[in-house]
């Protein structure tokens, strides 16, 4: 099982980040010096992915423009001796083979993934949500790919979340696997459960490795929570038909689609940046002293 392809659903409306996302896709908001989606593409590439499909919509063409060449800008930068900037501009267009498909109606994450059917064909593929970024030593997608390959199974990324948070996620029913601390077998799941409905506090968080069997399932999955076609409803069927594991991944996940997650990620990524990090640390310390 070799995972060469990835799908990044990025066609959501971004209603939690308005008014900024009225005209700028939330995936294009700057996180330190790069748009959010570049971190996700870089994680996919660092995990061995070669071809990436971004699911977009009519308001998100800024994404395909960003991953294209900009010869006029590069020429000007080179002429002015701004070699580092020219290199950064070129590099962002050379990261991977990036393809695009539009989700013509915002019918939910499951429907967005279904749009990848022709791109994926019969291969296993990774899914990286377009607004979830990860800070990890080993790329989170690679952690899932390794587990999927080891067990010949689909894989979902998970972490334990607090009691009051699980109702915002999908809750997993899991069983231990011999000699594994962080990988579990998945037998069931439910989307945005009430405290009584939840299986566990293990929530699915933003990363998946799936087989093409999901497409036929999604095609027949009726709208679920919020009137949208939910990926979780499709995965629930898939985990009963074929093996699935959950990987309690090492690393921190940030939901940049809400303001708090976006600010946390901005600060954490800026603090680890060699150039801006030391300045930001001093700035925060000075601010804290003034409180």
User: Which residue in 131, 146, 191, 233 binds ligand UTP (CB under 6 A)?
Assistant: 131
The stretch near ligand UTP (CB under 6 A) out of 124-132, 154-162, 207-215, 217-225 is 124-132
Does 9 bind ligand UTP (CB under 6 A)? Our answer is yes
Say which DSSP state 223 is in. P
Decide whether 105 or 164 has the Cβ nearer to ligand UTP: 105
User: Which residue in 3, 10, 29, 37 binds ligand UTP (CB under 6 A)?
Assistant: 10
- Of 156-185, binders to ligand UTP (CB under 6 A) are none
Question: What is 76-141 written as a DSSP string?
Answer: HHHHTT-HHHHHHHHHHHSSSEEEEEE-SS---HHHHHHTTHHHHTTS-EEEE-TTEEEE-SS-HH
The stretch near ligand UTP (CB under 6 A) out of 70-78, 129-137, 239-247, 283-291 is 129-137
Does 14 bind ligand UTP (CB under 6 A)? Our answer is yes
Please report, to the nearest 10 degrees, the dihedral formed by the alpha carbons of residues 7, 13, 18, 24 taken in order.
60
Looking at the DSSP assignment, which residues form a beta bridge with residue 55? Answer: 9, 101
Q: Which of 27, 265, 19, 226 is nearest to 109 (CA)?
A: 226
Binders of ligand UTP: how many residues, by CB under 6 A? 20
Does 15 bind ligand UTP (CB under 6 A)? Our answer is yes
Residue 63 and residue 37 in contact, taking contact as beta carbons nearer than 8 Å: yes
Q: Which of 208, 289, 265 is nearest to 8 (CA)?
A: 208
Residues 122, 130, 272: CA angle, nearest 5 degrees: 125
Residue 71 host element (H or E): helix 71-79
Whole-number minimum distance, CB 44 to ligand UTP, in Å? Answer: 14
User: Which residue in 3, 6, 112, 235 binds ligand UTP (CB under 6 A)?
Assistant: 112
Decide whether 11 or 238 has the Cβ nearer to ligand UTP: 11
The stretch near ligand UTP (CB under 6 A) out of 126-134, 173-181, 245-253, 283-291 is 126-134
Instruction: State the binding string over 232-261 for ligand UTP (x if CB under 6 A, else -).
Output: -------------------------x----
- Say which residues have a Cβ less than 8 Å from residue 244's Cβ, sequence separation at least 6: 153, 154, 155, 156, 185, 186, 235, 238
Whole-number minimum distance, CB 185 to ligand UTP, in Å? Answer: 25
User: CA-to-CA distance for 191 and 185, rounded, in angstroms?
Assistant: 18
Q: Which of 33, 28, 248, 212 is nearest to 120 (CA)?
A: 212
Decide whether 168 or 281 has the Cβ nearer to ligand UTP: 168
Does 86 bind ligand UTP (CB under 6 A)? Our answer is no
Decide whether 146 or 256 has the Cβ nearer to ligand UTP: 256
Binding residues for ligand UTP, rule: CB under 6 A, are 9-16, 55, 103, 106-109, 111-112, 129-131, 257
């Amino acid at each position: 099982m070799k995972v060469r392809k990835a799908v990044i659903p990025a066609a959501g409306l971004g209603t939690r980040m308005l008014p900024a996302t009225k005209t700028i896709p939330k995936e294009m908001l700057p996180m330190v010096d790069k748009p959010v989606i570049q971190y996700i593409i870089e994680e996919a590439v660092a995990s061995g992915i070669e071809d990436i499909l971004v699911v977009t919509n009519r308001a998100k063409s800024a994404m395909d423009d960003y991953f294209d060449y900009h010869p006029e800008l590069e020429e000007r930068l080179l002429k002015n001796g701004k070699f580092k900037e020219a290199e950064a501009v070129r590099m962002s267009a050379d990261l991977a083979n990036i393809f695009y498909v539009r989700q013509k109606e915002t019918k939910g994450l499951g429907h967005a993934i279904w749009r990848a059917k022709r791109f994926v064909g019969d291969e296993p593929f990774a899914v990286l949500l377009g607004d979830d970024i990860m800070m990890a030593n080993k790329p989170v997608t690679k952690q899932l790919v390794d587990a999927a390959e080891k067990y010949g199974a689909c894989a979902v990324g998970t972490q334990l979340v607090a009691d009051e948070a699980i109702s915002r996620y999908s809750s997993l029913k899991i069983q231990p696997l011999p000699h594994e601390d962080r990988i579990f077998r998945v037998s069931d799941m439910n989307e945005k459960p009430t405290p009584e409905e939840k299986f566990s506090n293990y929530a699915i968080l933003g990363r998946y490795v799936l087989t093409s069997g999901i497409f036929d399932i999604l095609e027949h999955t009726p709208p679920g929570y919020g009137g949208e076609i939910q990926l979780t409803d499709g995965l629930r069927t898939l985990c009963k038909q074929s093996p699935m594991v959950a990987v309690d991944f090492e690393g921190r996940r940030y939901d940049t689609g809400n303001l708090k997650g976006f600010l946390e990620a901005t600060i954490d990524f800026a603090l680890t940046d060699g150039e801006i990090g030391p300045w930001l640390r001093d700035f925060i310390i000075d601010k804290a002293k003034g409180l």
